């Protein structure tokens, strides 16, 4: 068994060093030209160069360094018969949760308003809502969505969630399927987007669905930029239906300098910082998965396996 690291976006050497630190005896490679290519059974990847994975004749598993896998499937030659294992990791879970909770509280406490009033030296007392009076909806109840829901629940918010199939989560009202999407959106004071990018989720939040949200709703997107139609979001903010948005993901990244999001007073832009894989815990997760699989355990019992039919 040999493991190959392939990445065009993060340091392959950093991952090599950390994997070697945690498992010194592992046959680990940084290039297809090292050793016998037939020995490579695992690939650890983030946005690998197109065509590289298809060159590995005995590849058994592809391990994503990230929670998303579209950086793999955008390769037209990716081997579709090889299982892809998404990153499900302590660092990712906490990163998303902390980002979402932080921006929820920032909006919930109306900090933008008070910061603006401070700049004018105005003492503008305003009554604050308690968490129990604020309805938060999570669009996407996978691992990250459920983990985030648990922490928001502990703060006392009224929580609901939407997913492709119904979920049973303590203190979260579950909505499922296209037939329940409208009912879900209607009661979201704050909408948190954590869905993956699939054919079904692209432009899910278009003008029609944005108008279903309550007037004054706020949107936080830490899922994928493709979920939201940019022009429709700006239109609905400008006409006052949507209060504003915090966006960490975009159709094109880095966000082009001429994009209207940058200068919009009701939109907060962050540079895809929420879902960062921490290298030490990420490596541990991947090494645990490799050991689990090489001990002949069923991949069907391993969390995070990409389902090509559902797109995530």
Name the average pLDDT for the chain.
96
pTM value is: 0.91
| pLDDT the model gives residue 253 | 94
Residue 241 has pLDDT above 80, yes or no: yes
Residue-wise pLDDT tens digits, 132-178: 999 999 999 999 999 999 999 999 999 999 999 999 999 999 999 99
272 is annotated as an active-site residue: yes
Q: Which of 150, 113, 157, 120 is nearest to 135 (CA)?
A: 157
42 is annotated as an active-site residue: no
Over residues 282-308, mean pLDDT: 93
**Annotated active-site residue in 108, 209, 224, 259:** 224
Round to whole Å and give the CA distance between 308 and 205: 23
44: pLDDT confidence band, cut at 50, 70 and 90? very high
18: pLDDT confidence band, cut at 50, 70 and 90? very high
Q: Which of 171, 129, 133 is nearest to 149 (CA)?
A: 171
Cα angle at 103 between 101 and 109, to 5 degrees? 95
Round to whole Å and give the CA distance between 109 and 122: 17
| pLDDT the model gives residue 140 | 97
Residue 259 has pLDDT above 90, yes or no: yes
Name every residue whose Cβ is closer than 8 Å to that of residue 169 and which is 6 or more positions away in sequence: 141, 146, 149, 150, 161
Going from the C-alpha of 202 to that of each of 168, 233, 276, the distances in angstroms are 26, 14, 22
276: pLDDT confidence band, cut at 50, 70 and 90? confident
Round to whole Å and give the CA distance between 29 and 57: 16
């Amino acid at each position: 068994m040999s493991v190959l690291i392939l990445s065009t976006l993060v340091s392959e050497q950093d991952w090599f060093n950390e994997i070697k630190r945690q498992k010194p005896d592992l046959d680990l490679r940084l290039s297809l030209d090292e050793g016998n290519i037939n020995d490579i059974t695992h690939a650890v990847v983030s946005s690998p160069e197109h065509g590289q994975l298809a060159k590995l004749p005995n590849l058994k598993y592809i391990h994503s360094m990230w929670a998303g896998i579209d950086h793999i499937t955008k390769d037209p030659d990716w081997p579709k018969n090889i299982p892809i294992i998404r990153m499900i990791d302590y660092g990712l879970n906490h990163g998303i949760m902390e980002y979402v909770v932080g921006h929820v509280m920032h909006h919930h406490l109306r900090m933008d308003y008070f910061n603006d009033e401070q700049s004018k030296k105005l003492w503008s007392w305003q009554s604050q809502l308690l968490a129990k009076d604020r309805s938060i909806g999570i669009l996407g109840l996978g691992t990250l969505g459920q983990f985030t829901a648990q922490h928001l629940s502990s703060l006392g918010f009224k929580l609901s969630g939407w997913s492709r199939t119904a979920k049973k989560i303590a203190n979260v009202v579950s909505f499922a399927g296209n037939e329940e999407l409208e009912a879900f959106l209607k009661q979201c004071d704050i909408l948190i987007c954590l869905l993956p990018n699939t054919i079904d989720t692209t432009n899910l939040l278009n003008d029609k669905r944005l108008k279903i949200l309550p007037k004054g709703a706020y949107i936080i997107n830490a899922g994928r930029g493709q979920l939201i139609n940019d022009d429709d979001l700006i239109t609905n903010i400008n006409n006052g239906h949507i209060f504003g948005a915090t966006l960490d993901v975009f159709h094109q990244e880095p966000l082009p300098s001429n994009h209207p999001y940058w200068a919009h007073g009701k939109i907060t832009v962050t540079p895809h910082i929420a879902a960062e894989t921490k290298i030490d815990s990420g490596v541990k997760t991947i090494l645990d998965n490799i050991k689990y699989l090489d001990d002949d355990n069923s991949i069907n019992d391993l969390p995070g396996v990409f389902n090509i039919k559902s797109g995530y």
